Structure 1
Amino acid sequence: MDFKLSDFLTVTFTLFAVIDIIGTVPVLISMKSKMGGIREGTVTLISGALMILFLYLGTPFLKLLGLDVRSFAVGGSIVIFILGLEMVLGLEFFKSENDIRSATVVPIAFPLIAGSGTLTTIISLKANYDSPVILFGILANLVFIFIVLKSMGLIERALGPAGLIAVRKFFGVILLAIAVKIFAFNAHGLIK
């Protein structure tokens, strides 16, 4: 395996944009006040376990369903594209459960952090990058997620409402470009 810094940065930034932990700060702040707190360490560990499990067992699971990574990458690129549109346009295409009475794990670790978009992206990235590169990208994001969860109040004050919207829209545009790249790279082999 040839570990390239550029690949690591691309994977890390892609996951960072999909997870969008900065963009979810307003939701997390609201949940934290309603739930009486968030267990930052637990949320980070469970999110990471889900992502790593899907990194290594996602492909065998797809084979069990008769799918290959390229097909999943194309499907995933469409999901990533829609997520990017959501972020840029401020619309909600994917409806999520918002049951505040649930444990910290359910609304925050899954689906907010390690949701379908993140898991789809991990499988999609496997079509272009080696697993160790993706693993290190996941770990780098988990460190950042933990830091953000620990300092939500500070981030909210620093960015302000307009800043949070600007960050979300910026990462939405990046996601759109990433989705197009993944689609273009994988679609040509599927269409005959």
Structure 2
Amino acid sequence: MGFDWREIFTVSMVLFAVIDIVGSIPIIVDLRNKLGHIESEKASVVALVIMIAFLFVGEEILKLIGIDANSFAVAGSFVLFFLAVEMILGIRLYKEDNPSTASIVPIAFPIIAGAGTMTTLLSLRAEYEKINIIVAIAINVVVVYAVLKSSARIEQVLGVNGLGVIRKVFGVVLLAIAVKLFAANVKELFL
């Protein structure tokens, strides 16, 4: 096959939903307020490299360390679950190591290229051409970069209450994705 715009569109939409950069805006704004600066370029490039590398060698790396894709997906569902709980309840479970800027951790990984994204890439690889997945990853990274760069303006437009509402709504969506990811993969562990 090869280059197919329909596949690119489909994969882009799936990755957009899983990466959920719009739902992460409250987290990004919070990090920017705490640290004063987000390295948008660095975070975007690192996330791009992580996702493309995982697309090609992810399954082999998991096999090498004795982890199957289903176990990885279940672990990813727990990470997504706790991120969702933070968003919905307004509590802080993730403790930063006092970084001076936010770029690689926690923005590039796990917010952008987290366990849910990695698991999704493994699933997409089975159904779609790699070139189309790579183009879809690049499209999503451009959107992520734009959101990271304009987080201050987005905060001004939405305000504190708007960000709070978005955070809670996307927290519930993220919780649903976590439950679905868990349910779809946990039964495979016991077969």
Superposition TM-score, scaled by structure 2 size? 0.80
| In structure 1, C-alpha distance between the alignment counterparts of 2:110 and 2:42, rounded to whole Å | 19
Q: Which runs of 5+ in 1 are unaligned?
A: none
Determine the structure 2 residue equivalent to 1:184.
Answer: 183
Shift in Å, 1:66: 0.8
Question: Is the Cα–Cα contact under 8 Å of residues 19 and 114 in structure 1 kept in the other structure?
Answer: no
Out of 99, 114, 125, the position equivalent to 1:119 is 114
Q: Deviations over 1:93-141 (max 9, x none)?
A: 22222222xxx5xxx2221212236331122214532374654453233
| 1:13 alignment counterpart | 17
Give the root-mean-square deviation of aligned CA atoms.
2.7
**Pair 1:27 & 2:9 matched:** no
8 Å contact from structure 2 (residues 48, 137) kept in 1 = yes
Which residue is equivalent to 1:128? 123
d(CA) in 1 for partners of 2:11, 2:179: 17
| 2:55 and 2:122 in contact (8 A); partners too | no
**In structure 2, distance between residues paired with 1:11 and 1:65:** 26
Q: For residue 172 of structure 1, report the CA deviation from its aligned partner.
A: 0.8
Q: Would the aligned equivalents of 1:77 and 1:180 in 2 still touch at CA under 8 Å?
A: yes
> Identity rate of aligned residues, in percent?
35
Farther-moved stretch of structure 1 (111-120 vs 55-64): 111-120
Greater Cα offset, 114-123 or 155-164: 114-123
Aligned positions of 1:107-186 closer than 5 A: 108-116=102-110, 118-130=113-125, 132=130, 135-186=134-185
Closer, same or farther: CA 49–184 of 1 in aligned 2, 3 Å = same
Q: Does the Cα contact within 8 Å between 2:87 and 2:167 map onto a contact in 1?
A: yes
Matched residues, number = 182
Is contact 2:71–2:185 with CA below 8 Å preserved after alignment?
A: yes
> Take 1:74 and 1:18, find their aligned partners in 2: how far apart are those partners?
24
**Structure 2 Cα separation of the partners of residues 179 and 139 of structure 1:** 24
| Pair 135,154 (structure 1): closer, same or farther in 2 beyond 3 Å | same
Provide TM-score, normalisation by structure 1: 0.79
CA 1:147/1:29 → structure 2, altered by over 3 Å: closer, same or farther? farther
